Structures are given as structure tokens and as C-alpha cells.
């Protein structure tokens, strides 16, 4: 993969990562305003981070299994 493509992919991921990390800490606050207690908000956060970890592991497994890393990186940004 060319350097120009990697830089563009990095910048797209950086924007999404920055927006996500700015909003994730506010999720328990919003949940409590909507009537959820602290336990439900904690379960939701735990499930969210578990899903992120599972997606990371599945992506690594798929890239090793299919040997098509470029296509998987492009598809992961479209989803």
C-alpha cells in the first residue's frame, strides 16, 4: 500500500477515533438522564467495549485468514 493511501486512511480513522473518544464518556450521563440507573449504564459500557474488542480480534483473524488486508481496511471504513 502506498504511503499516500496509508496517510489518508490514518486521517479518516483519526477523525472517527477523536469523535468517538469525545462522546463515549458522556454516554452514562445521557443514560442517567433518560432514567437508567448506574448499573445499566455500566453494563452498556461493558458490552460496548466487549464488542469493540471482539471486532478487533475478528478483524485480525480475518486479515490473516483471507490475506486481503487492503480490502478489509477499506470495507471496515465503509461499515
Grid coordinates representing 22?
Answer: 469525545
pTM (two decimals)? 0.60
**What residue segments make up the domains of the chain, in order of their start?**
3-78
- Of 19-28, 44-53, 68-77, give the lowest mean pLDDT range: 68-77
pLDDT of 26 higher than 60? yes
**Does the CA dihedral 23-28-33-35 come out positive or negative?**
positive
Contact of 47 with 39, CB cutoff 8 Å: no
Q: At what angle do helices 69-78 and 38-66 cross, to 10 degrees?
A: 150
pLDDT band of 58, cuts 50, 70, 90? confident
Contact of 41 with 27, CB cutoff 8 Å: yes
Amino acid at each position: 500500500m502506498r504511503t499516500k493511501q496509508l496517510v489518508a486512511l490514518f486521517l479518516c480513522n483519526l477523525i472517527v477515533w477523536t469523535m468517538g473518544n469525545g462522546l463515549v464518556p458522556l454516554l452514562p450521563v445521557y443514560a442517567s438522564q433518560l432514567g437508567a440507573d448506574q448499573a445499566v449504564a455500566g453494563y452498556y459500557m461493558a458490552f460496548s467495549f466487549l464488542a469493540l474488542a471482539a471486532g478487533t480480534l475478528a478483524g485480525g483473524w480475518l486479515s490473516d485468514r483471507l490475506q486481503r488486508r487492503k480490502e478489509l481496511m477499506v470495507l471496515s471504513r465503509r461499515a
